[in-house]
Amino acid sequence: MINPFITFTVLLFLIAPGCVGVSVDAGDSGPEPIRIYLLAGQSNMVGYTSAEWVAENAPALFEAREDVWCYWGGRSDALAPWTGHDVGPELAFGHGVGDQVDEPVLLAKFAVGGTTLHGHWRPPSAVERAGGEIGHLYKVMMKQFHRILADPGAYCPAYEGQGYELAGFIWLQGENDCFDGMEEHYEENLRDLVADVRAATGTPLLPVGIIVINDSPVWDEAGGGGPAVRAAQRAVADEDPNAVYVETSDLDEGYHYTDGDHVTIGHRIYEAMARAPHGVARTDEAAVARAREGLDELFYPGRGPRPAAPSVHLSDLDWVRGTAGYGGPPRKDLSIEERPLSLEGEAFARGIGTHSNSELVYKLDPAWARFVAIAGIDDEVGNRDVCSVIFRVLVDGEVLAESVVMKGMERWNFDVPLPEGGSEISLEVLEADSGMNSDHADWLDAGFLNE
C-alpha cells in the first residue's frame, strides 16, 4: 500500500508520454513524463461489476498489472479488480491505456454515490454565475488532486521525478440530477465543471470524456429529467473540440449497471479518448502552482494559516465541563471512537475528540495570550456526507471566532487572541445543516500560547 489517505475514491491515471503536460527537453535521456487522468462521478463510477465476473468473463483483466497503479479510497495499489469498491470503468480503461504506452500508469478515481452536480460537485464558476456554495466533493477532489500532483511518487512507485502530463478528465455522473428540476441546470453546470477543472489543472485544452447516463425508468419516469441530462451531456461534448462522449443506453437500464457493463464502459471511453482529435494539450506548471496556492482562499475565505503548536495542550488540562452529543465524554488525544486522531490523512498525536453538540470549558491562565487549534471532522467517518459542524470559540460567553460549516476532509485554523482579564474559554461544536449524525469533531494540536 502506498501513502494511505482519504476514504473518498479518487482515480488518477499516471501514464506515459505523448499527450499533455509538463514538457521534457528532447535531449533528456531520462524516463518520459507520466500522464495523469482524473476520473470522477457518482455510484456507477464507483462500480458494481464483481471481481468474480471479471475472472470468469474477462480473465485478461483479472491479474494485477504492475505497470498500472490505482489510487482508490485512501490507498494506491497495482490495478486489479479488487482495488476498487467492485469494478468500475477504471479497470478496462486502465488496461487500454497501459497496453498503449510503455511507461507506468497511475489510476485515480474520485466517486461518491447518490450525489449531484448541482450540489455536491458544484464548481466555483456555477457559484459565481448562479449563487450557492462550492460543492464539498469538488473541493475534496481538487485538494487531493493537487496533493497528488505535488508528490506523484507517493502514489506511483515508478515515478522518478520525470514530470507528468495531464491527459484527460472523465466524468460519469448525472443520475441524481434528474430529479427536482436540477436537470434544467445540468448543461450549464457541466460546462462550468469542465472549465474549472481545466483552469485548476493549468491545462486549458485538457481532453474530456463524458459517459452519458443510461435511459433507466428511474431517471426518465420517476425523476423525469433523464432526457434533459443526456441531451446536456451530449451538447457539452459536441460544442467542445477537446471533448468526446460515449453512450450507455444499450446497457442495463437499472439504477446501477449490471455485471460486465462497467468493463464495457471502460473500453468505450478508452477507445473514444484514443480516437479524439485533441492532439497535445500542454500543462502549465506555473498555472498549476498558482491554482494550488489559491485553493484555500477560494474554498475557505477567512481561514488563516496553520497556527503554531501550543505551549500548553488542552489534553494536558482538566476541563471545567466537557460534553459530547454521542459516544460518552470527549476523549483526550483520541477520537470520540477512541482511535488515533486524523484529519485529511494527517495524523495528530495531541488533541480532543468529541461529537456535536459539544462544549469544552477551561479556566484561563493570565499567562496565556492566544488559543490555537486545527479543527475538523475526524477521518474515521470516512466518506459519509451527512456530517457537518460549526466550531466556535467563546470567552466569558462572547464569541471570538467561528468556522464556516465544515464537512469531512476539511479543516479550520484557529489563532485567537485572548482578551485581558478573561475568566473561562468555551469551545463549542454545533451541528450544522444535516443533524448530528457522524459529527465526529476534533480539536487538534489545540491549546494555548504563552505571552
For 116-126, the pLDDT digits (tens) are: 999 999 999 99
Calpha distance 74→345 (Å, rounded): 8
Calpha distance 114→43 (Å, rounded): 7
Q: Which three cell numbers stand for residue 207?
A: 481532453
User: Taking Cα atoms as reference points, which of 27, 17, 340 lies closest to residue 166?
Assistant: 17
Q: pTM for the whole thing?
A: 0.86
Q: CATH for 9-299, among 3.30.1300.10, 3.40.50.1110, 3.40.50.1980, 3.40.50.300?
A: 3.40.50.1110
Residue 308 has pLDDT above 70, yes or no: yes
Residue 249 has pLDDT above 90, yes or no: yes
Determine the Cα angle at 285 with ends 1 and 89, to 5°: 45
User: Taking Cα atoms as reference points, which of 236, 28, 295, 203 lies closest to residue 117?
Assistant: 236
The neighbouring-strand residues paired with 427 are 360, 393
In sequence order, what E strands does 82-161 have? 105-111
Q: What is the pLDDT of residues 97-108, one digit of tens each?
A: 999 988 888 888
Q: What pLDDT, on a 0 to 100 scale, did the predictor assign at position 5?
A: 33
Residue 323 has pLDDT above 70, yes or no: yes
DSSP 446: E
Domain 312-450: give its CATH architecture.
Answer: Sandwich (2.60)
Q: Judge contact between 70 and 79, C-beta under 8 A.
A: yes
Average pLDDT on 135-148 reads 91
Residue 370's identity, in one-letter code, is R
Tell which wins on pLDDT, 239 or 409.
239
Residue 12 has pLDDT above 90, yes or no: no
Q: Judge contact between 27 and 100, C-beta under 8 A.
A: no
The neighbouring-strand residues paired with 394 are 399, 426
Residue 28 has pLDDT above 60, yes or no: no
Average pLDDT on 318-324 reads 97
Q: Which three cell numbers stand for residue 289?
A: 502552482
Residue 45 has pLDDT above 50, yes or no: yes
Residue 84 has pLDDT above 90, yes or no: no
Tell how far CA 359 is from the center of its chain.
30
Average pLDDT on 296-308 reads 90
Tell how far CA 53 is from the center of its chain.
29
Q: What is the pLDDT of residues 166-210, one digit of tens each?
A: 888 999 999 999 999 999 999 999 999 999 999 998 888 899 999
Domain boundaries, the chain: 9-299, 312-450
Give residues with Cβ within 8 angstroms of 207, minimum separation 6. 19, 20, 167, 168, 169, 242, 243, 244, 273, 276, 278, 281
Question: How crowded is residue 413: how many other Cβ atoms within 10 Å of its Cβ?
Answer: 18
Calpha distance 352→268 (Å, rounded): 49
Tell how far CA 346 is from the center of its chain.
15
Q: Judge contact between 154 and 92, C-beta under 8 A.
A: no
Tell how far CA 368 is from the center of its chain.
37
Calpha distance 15→96 (Å, rounded): 11
User: Taking Cα atoms as reference points, which of 343, 341, 362, 363 lies closest to residue 353?
Assistant: 341
Average pLDDT on 269-283 reads 75
